[in-house]
């Protein structure tokens, strides 16, 4: 049976890693490319703040072809969607029919992704969709994955939180209003080892910085609410 040609929207974090792990085990799909959005102003992974050099080291360790979507520092939704559309068009021309994501339960985000892909007659795949998030993070650790927190919402955490490697004790001590996988954007991670990697990705912990952002205006408030938010970042050095 011919496998479904699929590209994976790779964030560099734990949910992406576990979703990719599940997809690679599924004989229906052939994952031939990883796609990551990168902030060209800082040369870092969008949202996560991870250095591009570490992203490249990570995807090299995965041994899957990878490419980036270059975005300006604070792209409007129009610019963002145009860049994504250009990328989808390129992938479609290369024979891709499916696009995979590590999303877990955000219905509005899933609907948004599916609508964008449908414009190009592509289908979305969500390997860990609707799984219990505490079970997911425990499964992630039990499989031997390792991940470190690279950024966190200051509404829930201070600077001591970033730079923490996630373990079982970490999960058990999270505040009750924080999702165990940070699915609501409470925190993001960098996955540096696990069963899908040829070797661990080495790094050292650098400085921690605080940044405040103003969400862009959008017609769809479920995608991006118009309010300021603060983020703590932990720089990881290759």
Residue 146: CATH number of its domain: 3.90.1490
Domains contained in the chain, number: 2
Structure token pair of residue 53: 């050099």
Structure token pair of residue 177: 């209003």
> Whole-model pTM above 0.85?
yes
The number of C-alpha atoms within 13 Å of 185 and in the hemisphere containing its C-beta is 13
CA distance 18 to 102: 8
Residue ending a domain, choose from 68, 91, 125: 125
Q: pLDDT digit string (tens) for 4-30?
A: 999 999 999 999 999 999 999 999 999
Q: Does one domain contain both 116 and 50?
A: yes
Q: pLDDT digit string (tens) for 24-41?
A: 999 999 999 999 999 999
Residue ending a domain, choose from 125, 154, 182: 125
Q: pLDDT digit string (tens) for 134-146?
A: 999 999 999 999 9
Mean pLDDT of 93-107: 98
Q: Does one domain contain both 146 and 180?
A: yes
Q: DSSP label at 181?
A: T
Q: Does one domain contain both 167 and 102?
A: no
φ, ψ dihedrals at 92, nearest 5°: -60, -40
Q: Does one domain contain both 8 and 121?
A: yes
Report the chain's terminal Cα–Cα distance, integer Å: 41
Please report, for residues 21, 33, 136, 137, the alpha-carbon distance to residue 66 in angstroms, rounded to integers and kept in the order given.
Answer: 16, 5, 25, 25
Nearest residue to 54 (alpha-carbon basis) of 193, 169, 183, 186 = 193
Q: Does one domain contain both 30 and 121?
A: yes
Domain range for 155: 133-237
* For residue 225, pLDDT beyond 80: no
CA distance 48 to 11: 8
CA distance 90 to 96: 9
Q: Does one domain contain both 140 and 119?
A: no
Q: Does one domain contain both 164 and 100?
A: no
Residue ending a domain, choose from 63, 95, 125: 125
Beta-ladder partners of 154 = none
């Amino acid at each position: 049976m011919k496998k479904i040609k699929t590209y994976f929207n790779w964030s560099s974090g734990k949910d992406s890693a576990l979703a990719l792990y599940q997809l690679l085990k599924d004989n229906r799909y052939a994952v031939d490319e990883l796609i990551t959005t990168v902030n060209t102003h800082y040369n870092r992974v969008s949202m996560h703040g991870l250095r591009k050099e570490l992203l490249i080291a990570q995807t090299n360790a995965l041994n899957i072809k990878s490419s980036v979507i270059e975005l300006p520092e604070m792209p409007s939704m129009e610019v963002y969607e145009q860049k994504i559309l250009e990328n989808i068009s390129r992938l479609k021309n290369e024979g891709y029919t499916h696009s995979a994501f590590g999303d877990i339960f955000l219905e509005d985000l899933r609907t948004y992704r599916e609508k964008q892909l449908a414009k190009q007659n592509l289908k979305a795949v969500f390997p860990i969709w609707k799984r219990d998030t505490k079970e997911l993070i425990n499964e992630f650790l039990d499989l031997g994955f390792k991940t470190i927190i690279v950024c966190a919402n200051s509404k829930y955490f201070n600077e001591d939180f970033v730079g923490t490697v996630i373990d079982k004790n970490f999960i058990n001590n999270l505040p009750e209003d924080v999702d165990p996988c940070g699915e609501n954007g409470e925190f993001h991670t960098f996955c540096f080892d696990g069963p899908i990697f040829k070797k661990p990705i080495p790094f050292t912990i650098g400085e921690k910085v605080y940044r405040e952002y103003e969400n862009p205006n959008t017609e769809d408030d479920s995608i991006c609410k118009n309010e300021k938010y603060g983020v703590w970042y932990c720089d990881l050095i290759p």
